Amino acid sequence: MNRPEEYTTFWQASSNIALIKYWGKHGFQLPNNTSLSITLDKAVTSTRVNAVPRSSNARANAEISLDFSFGGSPQPAFSKRIEKYLASLFHQLPFLKDFHLKIESDNTFPHSTGIASSASSMASLALCLTELQQEIQKKADTREDFFQTASMLARLGSGSASRSLYGGWVTWGKSEHIDGSSNEYASPLDIKLDPLFRDMGVAVMIISGQPKTLSSSLGHKLMDQHPWASARYVQAEKHLKQILHAMKSGDFDNFSRITENEALSLHSLLMTSAPEGLLMKPASLNVIEEVRQFRATSGIPVCFTMDAGPNVLLIYPRQYKDQITDFIEADLVRHCENGRWIDDHSGTGPKKIK
């Protein structure tokens, strides 16, 4: 049992895949366009935080006191990032200087596989921090306020992490097309979806497990000077309006057209930002061609998307899982590194672990 002044909290959060891409930001982790994502089910980060009071002398230093481990082992590079993130939160979470934090984190999925581990890791950590704040202050927020606060805190660590605070379809960024939308935190998509879009499968074709040559942080910064930037933000808002209409009306043709255009637009921006922005591989293009051909010949609704890397993700209504699995095994695994791919689907959002 914890001593009265000691606190422990344990949360898990899933990663998410953006279909309308967030690329380019301003201020303190604020998006230049609205994004739309789908939260996964199996790609999860679990984070436990134990907070123990520090001595008055230690508190006077006003520095973060932290032990961080990932997968059961110390990770100095990750620890530095977490320490920097926590130090940036002193204003929002003043209790941080009063406690030594032991943070233990682990993933159900490997790095560099086309699934953003920063989204799920920062989201699970933000949930822990939000709960700690409530316990220490002896103040309970409403469920809505709790998750909005956690989404805001997650955003400050990783923009895409703000969306991992909710299950299913999620948006982040102020838009005239979405009531209650905000740049400060994400929101679950509150529209009546056609049944075709209520339960989605997500399959990740692992073209390469190597670290990408252009970091997302640098890619966002390069957008500041990109000659196509303003046109991109107009395009994203137009695509958002169109894809919401497609999801309400059950129009998978338009849904796939927009989703695939968004992925290729992102890679166009990457390739024209810096030489190291050429992240696609020949196998990436082979998978794209195979997906489009399969859709055209079979009539089965499936489309592709990509994040800032070479791996290709298939999005489809989960009622077609058997056909998609057969297609992957017959035609796509030969393009994957060591035949690896990840089978996932839309999830219900974060969970508190007892």
Asked whether the beta carbons of 15 and 164 are under 8 A apart, the reply is: yes
Q: Which CATH number fits domain 7-190: 3.30.230.10, 3.10.20.600, 3.20.20.70, 3.40.390.30?
A: 3.30.230.10
Which tens digit of pLDDT belongs to each residue from 52-105?
999 765 555 668 899 999 989 988 888 999 999 999 999 999 999 999 999 999
Tokens 């489809």, residue?
316
State how far the Cα of 341 lies from the Cα of 323, in Å rounded to an integer: 16
pLDDT value at residue 112: 58
Rounded Cα–Cα distance for residues 228 and 33 (Å): 14
- Residue 275 CB: number of other CB atoms within 10 A? 8
pLDDT (tens digit per residue) in 257-292: 999 999 999 999 999 999 999 999 999 999 999 999
Q: Say if residue 312 is exposed, middle or buried (CB neighbours under 10 Å; 0-12, 13-18, 19+).
A: buried
Q: Are 344 and 204 in contact (CB under 8 A)?
A: yes
Q: pLDDT tens digits for 139-169?
A: 888 999 999 999 999 999 999 999 999 999 9
Alpha carbons 79 and 87: distance in angstroms, whole number: 12
Contact between residue 174 and residue 180 where contact means Cβ atoms under 8 Å apart: no
> Which pair of tokens denotes residue 144?
């809505």
335-353 pLDDT per residue, tens: 999 999 999 999 999 999 9
Q: Where in the chain is the domain with CATH 3.30.230.10?
A: 7-190
Looking at the DSSP bridge assignments, the partners of residue 50 are 8, 102
d(Cα 158, Cα 28) in Å, to the nearest integer?
11
Average pLDDT, the chain: 93
Within 10 A of 185 (CB to CB), how many other CB atoms are there? 20
Report residue 4's pLDDT band, with 50, 70 and 90 as the boundaries: low
User: What token pair was written down for 288?
Assistant: 């794209």
Instruction: Assess contact for 262 and 243: CB atoms under 8 A.
Output: no
- Residue 114, sorted as left (phi over 0), alpha (psi -120 to 50) or beta, turns out to be left
pLDDT in tens, 36-67: 999 999 999 999 999 999 976 555 566 889 99
Res. 114: pLDDT tops 70: no
The answer to whether 146 and 167 have CB atoms below 8 angstroms apart is no
Q: Would the pTM count as exceeding 0.85? A: yes
Domain with CATH 3.30.70.890 in the chain: 195-345
Q: What percent of the chain has pLDDT over 90?
A: 83
pLDDT of 78: 86
Residue 187, token pair as written in the block? 């929101």
Phi, psi of 351 (to 5 degrees): -135, 140
Nearest to 215 by CA among 109, 88, 309: 309
| Integer Cα distance of 176 and 13 in angstroms | 28
Give CA–CA dist 186/153, Å, rounded: 11
Could you give the percent of the chain with pLDDT greater than 70? Answer: 95
At 115, the pLDDT band (50, 70, 90 cuts) reads confident
Question: In this predicted model, what pLDDT tens digit does every residue of 10-33 receive, in sequence order?
Answer: 999 999 999 999 999 999 999 999
Per CATH, the homologous superfamily of domain 195-345 is GHMP kinase, C-terminal domain (3.30.70.890)
Q: Which two tokens stand for residue 69?
A: 């481990």
Give the per-residue pLDDT at 218.
87
Q: Residues 120-136: pLDDT tens digits? A: 999 999 999 999 999 99
* ∠ Cα 91 181 128 (to 5°): 40
**Rounded CA gap, 191 and 95, in Å?**
38
What is the model's pLDDT at position 1?
Answer: 43
